[in-house]
Structure 1
């Protein structure tokens, strides 16, 4: 595979070749506006010219804090063209989280949503940011510009000022860092995973191969509701589908199901990405059932455990299977993937090409076949380390190059990997290990339960007790659910307490936030 990667000097060359090859093809659609590959590329050239005028040089970091709008790929591609390091930033970050990430990365410039600019102003003096470019959702639409109060440059103005400016093309090598992908904020301040041009190009090629014939050149229309600042959607949309001339439909706010469905309705989409909660939410919305699914051939799930209930419901509504994979920010992200059309629900499939996946015990020794262990990964997609954190890097990556994921898995007899849970989420009841994913899977299989999240809480008698938090689609009481669980699980796994909520706390990607439930 490395010979395929080595035909490119860096990601900028990969993107520019795609832009030339597919110039007239539709590249991105958002809010009713479609931009071709040529238009995206020209805008990115103009923005790169403007950034060069500001004095930004290869290796400087630039933060992008945007939802899924057309300005995102333009900003990302401009950064790559100039040899900058892209710092993907969550638009929902608090000022504390923003300040930490900007200072930790040493970002000199930011492209930010206009609505977030007031939040940035409150911390700007305490960061190294020298240049602020603001953009609103309507900024690229003809005749529309979002006014901003404050000392920042509008995105549309930056494009005008950079038009025709000659800038030095990126000379980055495959070993240079392309993206700082921040991760680990759930357990403290987030760390920047250093993803090189080689990491991301390798995973692009690996994953496209795993998609088999479900990702053809210039043939796919990809519905992208997951945020581009997350590595899952970043690699899928900006690299895999874009790199092979396909069309991405960006969904700025997937929680607005009505708007989401209207946006999807305008397209003969072939590919869809999501996670468990999104699949269930869409399938519970009547208007979604009326969409045309006749061309849909690949639905990708990752980032959170896929339940059998969600997979079966999606199949019933759309006629398409869900193909689940597994990955992390530190692995660019894909590590394993099911075979499209031959999915084993409950597993995350097989290691992708040139990827060594092993299961280790607490002493870093391989476990026996059929036993659970921490998943460790070695391959060209594994990051070089955490930005400015040599001690954290040494803990996470062995001298032989194996990355310790912190996830627990079991290898099936045929080689497929089943994820049990995160090591840190494991609950210990009277000395027995309880994995929340297993309990959640049983709970959502009850016809009255819509969603479930399970956490451990301190208990004087058993050390920890299993607490379940659920949302309902029918009537059921705690005792009935506990009886149901006992029919499917050993007694110590049955939730001692079941709490009914109107809504489960979720991240912007749609992951259920167990940490918030632990303190509830």
Structure 2
């Protein structure tokens, strides 16, 4: 069954418990369908953009869900926009995607007032909180109409990558891509057969949040509790009060919750499944979460270009230290620098073949060509290996590799070692130029509140865990690490900061 057909059926037949909790409001799924249809009909009339690309500039809220599916019901292509971007950054995306209409709310009026006149065409913001609710009798289009415009190769979403370097790229995801990733992710999360409650804490404008905390729970008829911002105390309060069973976060969020739960324990026994993605899961955080809550963190892996989930540990089949087995409908190959497939246990670039792999990058034919192997596999740029049991291990990012006097050093190994030292909250390692060695590893560290890090003792500690040449030549104590909205460390920016201090 295709994506929109699933949405219409899920909302039409949803049990009473299937609601979106957004502050004091509880929106039943049949009402979500009615509002989505109303938006879709309005977009058919209002939006005159040449490509049908419609911007969604919203925090996590029920309106985001209605805007996403409403755009699809209106035969448009939703383009989620990061609400933390500056006007110039938003202007770039609006121009690149030729967006004429943006669904938003009135709190963002100053943003669109600043954008007025800065594009070759007029961009019309539609303030959803100022629109009247659609009439009760509104119904979805007939199923045969939906089939007509949701062919597998037709665009269903355009997501701009976080852009750790240069301008963001528009990743073109089709109906077939999203349907395939829903099927694979749904099998792992298993929300449809459990009395689950999902919290949407990850930004829905990012692919991980969109798939894991919006598309999967909606299509599987699970209630969703919306949280617009990451406020750890509010998240913990929500987990307890709403009896949340499914928690999807990035590792730094789990780490912060661990520190708060140590200070003030809470009953989180309702949790059934905890998933980490969007970046490495340090063993220290994984172990602390298990010790405090009694629950495993199921680590997974993905990227926007794969819709996004590629692999994930599953309940009852969790292998600590790995990022799980590939989804049932995903094939992973490890390739060497010459493009040859490598056997189990050998490290190389992680390459992906799946129906969930993107159509390409918008307006970037050469970048699209470079993203694939000659035989059509997506090149992730990440290094790793498959073990004998088929679990994927990630060893680092190819671009982050440090070459020290001819020796390859992966920052992730050093970062995990640093995190085992008492008092360390966060750590990031980059390579800085060196006249004699080529590059040397340098570490940036954020200490726990009130902790003092003794550099000498830290060095001694690291020498018991890693080779001497991998021990960072310098340690920089920072108040915080530069990050994007998914809490990923911006290593190019960090490298610039540390070079300026050198």
TM-score, normalised with respect to structure 1: 0.89
Contact 1:427 1:434 in 2 (8 A): yes
Equivalent position SS for 2:361: coil
Distance 1:250 1:500, change over 3 A: same
Tell me the SS of whatever aligns to 2:360: coil
Find out whether 1:182 has 2:157 as its counterpart: no
The separation in 1 between residues aligned to 2:211 and 2:162, in whole angstroms, is: 19
Preserved contact between residue 182 and residue 191 of structure 1 (Cα < 8 Å): yes
**Preserved contact between residue 33 and residue 140 of structure 2 (Cα < 8 Å):** no
Quick one: structure 1 residues 356 and 288, their matched pair in 2 at CA, closer, same or farther if it must change by over 3 Å?
Answer: farther
* In structure 1, C-alpha distance between the alignment counterparts of 2:439 and 2:104, rounded to whole Å: 43
8 Å Cα contact 1:326/1:335 also seen in 2: yes
Within 5 A, what are the aligned runs for 1:140-289?
Answer: 154=130, 156-157=131-132, 159=133, 164=138, 169-170=145-146, 171-172=148-149, 173-183=151-161, 185-211=163-189, 214-217=190-193, 219-254=195-230, 256-286=231-261, 289=264
Task: Tell whether 2:120 aligns with 1:103.
Answer: no
Matched residues in 1 for 2:139 and 2:345: separation? Answer: 60
Q: What is residue 30 of structure 2 aligned with on the other side? A: 38
Q: Distance in 1 between matches of 2:28 and 2:163?
A: 36
Are 2:34 and 2:136, in contact at CA under 8 Å, matched by a contact in 1? no
Question: Which one of 349, 362, 381 corresponds to residue 374 of structure 1?
Answer: 349
| Matching residue of 2:296 | 321
Do the aligned residues in 2 keep the contact of 1:293 with 1:319 (CA within 8 Å)? no
1:500, distance to aligned residue in structure 2 (A): 1.1
Confirm or deny: 8 A CA contact 1:436 1:454 kept in the other structure: yes
Aligned residue in 2 for 1:360: 335
Residue 90 of structure 1 deviates from its aligned partner by 0.5
Cα-to-partner distance string for 1:309-345 (whole Å, 9 max, x where unaligned): 1111111222210001111000011111113233222
Instruction: Find the aligned partners of 1:261 and 1:514 in 2 and give their Cα distance.
Output: 30
Distance change (3 Å), C-alpha of 1:100 and 1:312:
same
Question: Which of residues 439, 452, 461 is equivalent to 2:414?
Answer: 439
Taking a change above 3 Å as real, the CA distance of residues 342 and 348 of structure 1, as seen in their structure-2 partners, is same
Higher mean displacement: 319-328 or 363-372: 363-372
State the SS of the aligned residue for 1:187: coil
Q: 1:461 to 1:14 in 2, by over 3 A?
A: same
Tell whether the 8 Å contact from 2:34 to 2:138 is kept in structure 1 after alignment.
no
SS of 1:24's equivalent? coil
| Cα contact 1:183–1:190 (8 A) shared by 2 | yes
1:155-198 CA-to-partner distances (Å, cap 9, x unmatched) read x34x4599859979543212101001111611211111111111
Residue pair 1:351, 1:357 contacting (<8 A) in 2 also = yes
Instruction: Tell me the SS of whatever aligns to 1:185.
Output: coil
Q: Secondary structure at the match of 2:88?
A: helix
Alpha-carbon shift at residue 264 of structure 1 (Å): 2.8
Correspondence for 1:470: 445
Q: 1:34 to 1:287 in 2, by over 3 A?
A: farther
Maintained 8 Å contact 2:47/2:101:
no
Q: 2:457 aligns with which of 480, 487, 494?
A: 480
Rounded Cα–Cα distance in structure 2 between residues aligned with 1:56 and 1:296: 45
- In structure 2, how many angstroms separate the alpha carbons of the residues matched to 1:218 and 1:367? 39
| Corresponding residue SS for 1:323 | strand
Structure 1 vs Structure 2 CA RMSD? 2.2
Unaligned stretches of 5+ residues in structure 1 = 1-6, 140-153
Query: 1: distance between equivalents of 2:59 and 2:47?
Result: 26
How far off its partner does 1:235 sit? 0.7
Partner of 1:144: none
2:1 maps to 1:16: no
Which of 404, 408, 426 matches 2:383? Answer: 408
Instruction: Evaluate the alpha carbon distance shift between residue 281 and residue 288 of structure 1 in structure 2; reply closer, same or farther with a 3 A threshold.
Output: same
In structure 2, the CA distance between the partners of 1:339 and 1:164, relative to structure 1 (3 Å rule), is closer
Cα distance between partner residues in 2 of 1:164 and 1:200: 27
Q: Which secondary structure state, in structure 2, belongs to the residue aligned with residue 285 of structure 1?
A: helix
How far did residue 406 of structure 1 move? 0.6
Cross-structure match for 1:494: 471
What displacement does 1:512 show? 2.1
How far apart are residue 301 of structure 1 and its match? 0.7
In the TM superposition, what is the alpha-carbon distance from 1:97 to its structure 2 partner?
A: 1.5
The answer (yes or no) to whether the contact 2:262–2:292 under 8 Å persists in 1 is: no
Which residue is 1:77 aligned to? 69
3-state DSSP class of the match of 1:48? helix
Give the match for residue 282 of structure 2.
307
Deviates more, 1:217-226 or 1:236-245: 217-226
